[in-house]
Amino acid sequence: MNRRGKVEFADLEARLGYRFRDPDLAMLALTHLSAQVAGGRSYQRLEFLGDRVLGLVVADHLYRAFPRASEGELSMRLAKLVRRETCAEIAAEWDVGPHVVLGLGEARGGGRKKAAILSDVCESVIGAVFVDGGFDAACDLILRSWGDRLTDAEPARDAKTALQEWAQARALAAPRYEEAARTGPAHAPSFVMRVELPGYGPETGEASSKRAAEQAAAQAFLDRWSGA
């Protein structure tokens, strides 16, 4: 990495509030699948890890911050805080886009501004900080970066109810939810739930419970289609 690159990466570390011990790990967290060379790696494994760390930290914070909230409300808050759009917002606030390593085609296609890639990188950076500095470092990064979002006094939006009302207003059948995938060990599973409505493309949501994953899927559907 040249001197300019070092300065730029130091700026990113300053925005993160974390300095990596292993710069190769940090670079891996920023490497998209499209930039892989033969035998190389991308951020996908770190993204997988970061997603789980993020969910645990946010769930723990919500449990402590809202002692009177029901499981349903906590699930809705969690889904809102860890969904793709929120993670992409955080990555944009870190200004991580210019540091993401992309293949030529993805770079030319505006990959550094794509919400899906920014969201993935947000989680991969969290995973990298967890591996590099441990749980406390990752927890500090998440709590600092999510900030006021974690203690929003407004109740989380019930995306499933909102989607049902949206469908009813258009004389559509009720949204149908089904399990699309399940990963992780039995004691800490991760669920991917899919929601479908006639005439619209399906959307998915992932969380540590089916209820939260359904909320995330419903919110993803509303984000994509409610303004159409």
Within the chain, how many helices (H) and strands (E) appear? 10, 3
Exposed (0-12), middle (13-18) or buried (19+): which is 110, by Cβ within 10 Å? exposed
Separation of CA 4 from chain center: 30
What is each CA distance from 49 to 96, 127, 128, 157, in whole angstroms? 19, 5, 8, 27
What is each CA distance from 121 to 33, 88, 92, 203, 208, in whole angstroms? 11, 8, 10, 21, 20
Rounded to a whole number, what is the distance in angstroms from the first to the last CA of the chain? 44
| Catalytic-residue membership of 123 | yes
Pick the catalytic residue: 47, 89, 106, 123?
Answer: 123
Pick the catalytic residue: 51, 106, 203, 214?
Answer: 51
CA dihedral angle for residue 17, residue 145, residue 142, residue 54, rounded to 10 degrees: -140
| Catalytic-residue membership of 8 | no
Q: Which amino acid is located at 53 in the chain?
A: V
Active site residues per annotation: 51, 123
